[in-house]
Chain A
Amino acid sequence: MSTEAIPAERPKRNYNALFGLTLLALLVLLWIILSVATPSFASANNISNLLRQGSMIAILAVGQTFVIITGGIDLSVGAVVGFATVIVAMLINAGVPIFLAILITLLVGVAIGLFHGFGIVKMGLPPFIITLATLTSLRGIGLLMTNGNSISINNDAFQLFSRSSFLGVPNLFWMVILVGIPAYIFLHHSRWGRYLFSVGSNAEASRLSGVNVQRTIYMAYTLSGLCAAFVGVLLASRIGIGNPTQAEGWELQAIASSVIGGTSLFGAVGSVHGPLLGAFILATINNGANLLNVNAFWQRIITGVLIIVIVYFDGLRRRGK
C-alpha cells in the first residue's frame, strides 16, 4: 500500500535548464559585485587568469560528473593529473613528438579508468575504495619514476600553448569548450548518456532492460580518467614541469564543482553545464578573495559554506518546497 498514489508531481521539464540559469545568475552576480568592489577584477588580465584557473577543474568536474551519475565516485583524478604531468614531461624530454606524447598520456588516463572499471565490475570493489587506492599508489609510482624530483619540460612550443589566447580568450578555456560540447551531446543526447542515468538509478532494472551495465561503468570511469589525463597535459603545459605531487586535492574541488552544479551523490541526477558553472563559481570566489586580500585560509572555509548552502537550496527546490 506504499504503492498508492503519491500526488503526481508537476512536470519538471526545464528543471536542469532552470537550475543552470540560477547558477549562471549567481556567477554573474559574483562578477558584478567583484567588479565594483575591486578595481582589478574586471581587467582583461584578471579575467584571463580566472578563466585559466577555472578551466582545469571544470574539465575534471565533467568527467567526475559522469562517474557520480552512475552512483560512483572517482577520488583518483587529482593523482591522475599529477601522474599525467610526469608521463607527458618524460615523453617530451625523450624527444617524442608532442602530439604522440599527448596521445600516449591520454591513453594512460584511459588505462587507469579501465582499471577502475575492472576493480568495480570484476573484483566487486566499491568505487570509493578502488579509486582511493589509485589515488595513493599513483602518487607513489610517479615519485618512484622521478626520484621525487620535478622534471622540467624543455620544449617551449608545448608551454606556449597554455599561455596563449585565441580570439582574445585563453586557450585553456577553449579546451573547456572542446570537452564540454561533446560531453553535453554525449550525456543528454546519446543513448550511452541515458544508460549512465539508468544505471545510477537502478542497475538491476537497467540490466533486465538490456542495458550493458558493466560496459556503462567501464565507460564512466574511462571518461573520467581521460578527462584527468587531459587536464594533466594542460597543467604540464601551464607550469612547464612534470611533478607527481601536483594537483593535490583537485579531486575534492572537482567533486565540489559537480555537486554545486546540481549533481546528486546518490546518482541519476546531473548535467554537463552544472559542473562547468560550479567550477567557475569556485574559481571566482578564490580569485575574488585573493583580490580582496582575504586570508587564504578563509577561502577554504567560504568554499565549504558555499557547498552546504547551494546543495541545501537545491535539495529544497527538488522536494518542491
Chain B
Amino acid sequence: MTSTAQELHPAPTLEPGRTILELKGLEKRYPGTHALKPINLAFKASEIHAIVGENGAGKSTLIKLLTGVMPRTSGDVIWEGKPAALATPHEAMALGINAVHQEVVLCRHLTVAANMFLGEEASRFGILQQRAMVREAQKIIDDLGFDLPAHVVLGDLTIGQQQLIAAARATVRGTKFLIFDEPTAYLTRKEADQLFTLIRRLKGEGVTIIYISHRMEEVFELADRVSVLRDGTLVGTRNIAETNDAELVKMMINRSIEQVYHKEHFTPGATLLEARNLSGKGFENVSMTVRAGEIVGLYGLIGAGRSEFVTTLYGRHRKSAGQILWEGKEVQVNSEHDAIRIGMALAPESRRDQGLCLNLPVGLNLNLPIYKRISSNLLISSAQEKTEADRQIANLRIKTPTRNALASSLSGGNQQKIVIGKWLAHGAKLFIFDEPTVGVDVGTKAEIYRLFGELLSKGAGIILISSYLPEVYELADTLHVFRRGKLVATHGFHTANHEEILTQALAEKQEKPGGQI
C-alpha cells in the first residue's frame, strides 16, 4: 500500500443496508470457560452497531475473534458473502476490519505522522520521506477536523488527543469495518464530540461501526442498533428507536435499574476523622468530618483537589497547614503506614497502577495489608493465609478458579473487588474509595455499593470520590463539592439537585467534566 491520501481513504464497496459481515454460530471456548456461546448476528454496511454488556459478558472475546487476534473454536464468519478465516490480525486488516482500543496502542515516543504511517512508511530508495509523511498526515488530520499538529511527538498530546490520532489512523487504511472499544473512557466531552463527529462521518462514507461502551447515553446518541451480551450469550438486538435505558440494563444484568444504587441509611455514630483548615499541594483550607456509619461524597472535576486532599489525609503527601484529628485527637500522618496503623484504608483510583500486584496471586493481593497480623514474628501462618484469602474470595464473590490464580487473569470488576476486599480483613474504620467504579459494569457496581452498606453497618465511615455525579448523589449522606482546590459547597442527602451541584463544580459553566455527565 502506498501513502497518497486518496488511496488511504476508506473504499467501501457496498451500498448501505446490505449485510457486510455475518456471524453464524460463532463460538469461543477457553480451557474451563465458555467465553462466547454460539452467536448469530449480521452487521449491515453503514450502520453504527453498539454492543453492550457487563465485564466478562464476551465483548472482548468477540472483538478478538473479529480482529483475528485469537482463533475461534467453531462457527463461520461470512465477509461480503464469502467465508473468512480471520486467522491472523493481518488477514482481518487486509479485509478492512480494524479496531480502536480503549488504551492507545501506539508508540508514544514517535511523532504523530510516524504513528499514522507505522508499518506503511513512505520511502524512496530505502530513505524515509519524512516531510512528505508529515504533510500527508497533517492533511488527513485537518480533513477530519481535528485541530492537532502532525509533527509533534505523540506522547506530548493528551490521552484524549492520542485516542483521536488512533481513530484517525484506523480510518485511513481502507477500513470498511471499524470497532471502537470504549473509546471515550479517557476523553473530555469536547474530544468525545470530535470523535462522534468522526464516527458519523465514517458511517456516511459507508463504513460499518461497532461501538462498545458502558455509557448508555453514548449508545443512544450514536447507535442505529444495539446488541446486548450477557454471560457469553447474545440476549438480543434492538433498533435504538425502539428501546430504552431501562430495557437495556435489564437485558444486561437481568435485574432492574433501581436495584443498582443500593443505599442504606444508618444513624451516624461518633466522629472518626476531622480535617481542620487542612491545606496541601492542590487544595487549601478544607474542613470536614467523617462519622461512623456515613458516606461522605467528594464531587468535582478531575484536578479539583479531591484526590490530593484524600492522599494527604492518607499520608502520601505532606500537609502545609491545618490539623487532622482522629477520634477527637490530633494525629500526625506522615506516611501511608501511619494512616493504616490509625485505621484508614485507601482503594486507589487506578487499580492497574496503584491497586494491584497483577502478576502475583489473588491470595497474596488480598492478604498484603494483613501479613503482619497473620505472621508470628517473621513466619507466616500458611493455614491462616489460606483461610483469610478464601474467606474474602467467598465473601466478595470474586470469580477466580483458586486463590493462586494471578490477579491479571481476572476481569476488571473482579480485580476491583480485590482492591476493595483486601481492606475488609484489615479492620480499618475509615475507607477512602477513589473512583471505585471506573470501568466496572453495572452488576459489579451494584455489588460494590452493597459492600458499602455492609461496611457502614459494621460502624465504618466512607469517603467516596467520584466524577460520576449520579453515583455520589445517590450514595452520599453528605456531599462536598470541590472546585479548583477549594471546598465550595456542602449538601445533605438529596438536598440539592444535579444542576445546582454541577453548577457549583463548574462555576464558569464552560465545559462539562470528563465526558462523565
A and B interact = yes
A residues engaging B (CB < 8 A)? 1-13, 185-186, 189-192, 194-195, 197-198, 201-202, 204-212, 268-269
> Contacts A2-B103, A5-B55 hold; do A197 and B379 have CB atoms under 8 A apart?
no
* Interface residue from A3, A7, A198, A207 paired with B364 (Cβ < 8 Å): A198
Residues in B with CB closer than 8 Å to A6 are 60, 408-411
| Distance, CA A1 to CA B59, complexed state (A) | 8
Number of interface residues of B (CB under 8 A): 62
Contact assessment for A197 and B360 in the assembled complex, using a CB-CB cutoff below 8 Å = yes
Nearest residue, chain B, Cβ from A320: B31
Q: Which residues of B have CB within 8 Å of A195?
A: 371
Interface string of B358-376 (1 = CB under 8 A from A): 1110001001110110010
Give the shortest distance, in Å, between B500 (CB) and chain A (any CB).
33
B497 lies within 8 A of chain A by Cβ = no
Cα A189 to Cα B384 in complex, Å, equals 12
Q: Which residues of B contact A207 (CB under 8 A)?
A: 336
Bound CA span A211–B341, Å: 11
B30 touches A13 (CB 8 A): no
Of chain A, the residue at the smallest CB distance from B419 is A205
Query: A4 to B33, alpha carbons, bound, how many Å?
Result: 14
Q: Does B293 contact A (CB under 8 A)?
A: no
Of all chain A residues, the one with the shortest Cβ separation from B409 is: A9
CB within 8 Å of A: which B107-150 residues = none
Give Cα A13–Cα B357 distance, bound, in whole angstroms. 17
Question: Could you say which of B250-258, B260-268, B346-354 contacts chain A?
Answer: B346-354
Contact of B402 among A13, A191, A206 (CB under 8 A): A13
Distance in Å: Cβ of B312 to nearest Cβ of chain A: 14
Task: Say yes or no: A10-B375 contact (C-beta < 8 A), given A191-B380, A201-B359.
Answer: no
Question: B406 contacts the other chain (Cβ, under 8 Å)?
Answer: yes
Candidate in B181, B336, B413 with the most chain A CB atoms within 10 angstroms: B336
Give every chain B residue within 8 A of A211 (Cβ-Cβ).
368
A201→B102 CA distance, assembly (Å) = 24
Query: Is A202 a contact of B356 with CB atoms below 8 Å?
Result: yes
Does B404 lie at the interface of the complex (its beta carbon under 8 Å from any beta carbon of A)? yes
Given contacts A2-B103, A208-B348, A208-B355, contact A191 B375 (CB under 8 A): yes
Distance in angstroms between the alpha carbons of A206 and B483 in the assembled complex = 31
Q: Which among B185, B379, B439 is the interface contact of A190 at CB below 8 angstroms?
A: B379
- Residue-wise, chain B 311-350 has the 8 Å CB interface mask toward A (1 for contact) of 0001000000000000000000000110011000010100
Chain A nearest CB from B378 CB (Å) reads 4
Contact of A206 among B102, B368, B379 (CB under 8 A): B368
Residue numbers in B under 8 Å from A189 (CB-CB): 379-380, 382
What 5 pairs across the A-B complex have the smallest Cβ distances? A3-B412, A7-B30, A201-B357, A4-B60, A191-B371
List the A side residues contacting B101 at CB < 8 Å.
Answer: 1-2
Cα-based distance from A211 to B404 in the complex (angstroms): 21
Interchain CA distance A6-B35 in the complex, whole Å = 9
Whether A208 contacts B60 in the complex (CB less than 8 A), given A1-B181, A13-B402, A268-B360, comes out as no
Q: Which residues of A contact B410 (CB under 8 A)?
A: 5-6, 8
Q: Point out the residues of chain A lying under 8 angstroms from B341, CB to CB.
A: 210
B311 to A, closest residue via Cβ: A208
Closest B residue to A207 using CB positions: B336
Bound-complex Cα distance A211 to B55 (A)? 30
B455 within 8 A of A: no
B336 in contact with A208 (CB, 8 Å): yes
Are A8 and B360 in contact (CB-based, < 8 A)?
A: no
Tell me the bound Cα distance from A312 to B359 in angstroms.
19
Of the A-B pairs whose beta carbons lie under 8 Å apart in the complex, a sample of 16, sorted by A's number, is A1-B60, A1-B182, A2-B181, A4-B55, A4-B58, A4-B411, A5-B33, A7-B31, A9-B401, A10-B31, A10-B32, A13-B404, A194-B367, A205-B354, A268-B359, A268-B360
For B369, give its contact among A3, A7, A209 (CB under 8 Å). A209
Q: Is the CB of B358 within 8 A of A201?
A: yes
* Chain B residues closer than 8 Å to A197, beta-carbon distance: 357, 360, 364
Cβ of B287 under 8 Å from chain A:
no
Q: How far is the CA of A209 from the CA of B101 in the complex (A)?
A: 31
A233–chain B nearest beta-carbon distance, Å? 25
* Nearest-CB residue, chain B, relative to A268: B359
B355 and A191: CB pair below 8 A? no
Q: How far is the CA of A8 from the CA of B411 in the complex (A)?
A: 9
**Chain A proximity of B229: nearest CB distance (Å):** 10
Q: CA separation between A71 and B111, bound complex, in Å?
A: 30
A11 to chain B: which residues have CB within 8 Å?
401-402, 404-405
**A1-B439, A4-B59, A198-B368 given; 9 more Cβ-contact pairs under 8 Å:** A3-B411, A6-B60, A189-B382, A194-B367, A194-B368, A204-B354, A205-B354, A205-B356, A268-B357
How many angstroms between the C-alpha atoms of A185 and B378 in the bound complex? 9
- Closest residue of chain B to A192 (Cβ to Cβ) is B378
B contact residues vs A (CB 8 Å cutoff): 30-33, 35, 55-61, 101-103, 181-182, 185, 212, 314, 336-337, 340-341, 346, 348, 353-360, 364, 367-369, 371-372, 375, 378-380, 382, 399-402, 404-406, 408-413, 415, 422, 439-440
Q: Contact check, A8 vs B33: say whether CB atoms are below 8 A apart.
A: yes
A206 and B357 form a contact (CB under 8 A)? yes
Known: A189-B382, A209-B422. A269 touches B371 (CB 8 A): no
> What residues of A have a CB within 8 angstroms of the CB of B354 in the complex?
202, 204-205, 208
Please measure, in the bound complex, the distance between the C-alpha atom of A207 and the C-alpha atom of B340, giving whole angstroms: 11
> Which residues from chain B contact A2 at a C-beta distance below 8 Å?
60, 101-103, 181, 412
In the bound assembly, the distance between CA atoms of A214 and B358 in angstroms comes to 20
Contact of A201 among B55, B212, B314, B360 (CB under 8 A): B360
- Shortest distance from the beta carbon of A86 to any chain B beta carbon, whole Å: 34
CB atoms of A210 and B336 under 8 A apart: yes
Contact in complex: B375, A8 (CB < 8 Å): no
B346 nearest CB neighbor, chain A only: A208
Q: Which of A3, A9, A204 has the most CB of B within 10 A?
A: A3
B396 nearest CB across to chain A (Å): 16
B369 to chain A, nearest CB (A): 5
Task: State whether A204 touches B368 (Cβ < 8 A).
Answer: no
| B337–A7 touching, CB < 8 Å | no
A1 CB contact (under 8 Å) in B32, B212, B405: B212
Residues of A within 8 A of B358 (CB): 201-202
Nearest opposing residue in chain A for B29, CB measure: A7
Q: How far is the CB of B99 from chain A (nearest CB, A)?
A: 11
Q: How far is the CA of A210 from the CA of B373 in the complex (A)?
A: 12
Q: How far is the CA of A1 from the CA of B50 in the complex (A)?
A: 14
CB contacts (< 8 Å) of B439 on chain A: these are: 1, 3
The answer to whether A204 and B369 touch across the interface, beta carbons within 8 angstroms, is: no
Q: Could you tell me if A190 and B402 are in contact, using CB atoms closer than 8 angstroms?
A: no
Min C-beta distance of A24 to chain B, whole Å: 22
Bound form: Cα–Cα A197–B413 in Å: 24
Chain A residues with Cβ below 8 Å from B340 are: 209-210
Given A5-B35, A202-B357, decide whether A190 and B378 contact each other with a Cβ distance below 8 A: yes
Q: Output the nearest chain A residue to B360 by Cβ-Cβ distance.
A: A201
With A7-B33, A209-B369: A194-B380 Cβ-Cβ less than 8 Å? yes
Residues of chain A contacted by B380 (CB below 8 angstroms): 189-191, 194
Contact of B357 among A3, A7, A198 (CB under 8 A): A198
| Contact status B379-A185, CB under 8 Å | yes
Instruction: Please state if B422 and A1 are interface contacts (CB–CB under 8 Å).
Output: no
* Contact across chains for A191 and B378 when beta carbons are under 8 A apart: yes
Contact A8 B357 (CB under 8 A): no
Task: Output the least CB separation between A308 and chain B (Å).
Answer: 22
CB contacts (< 8 Å) of B372 on chain A: these are: 191
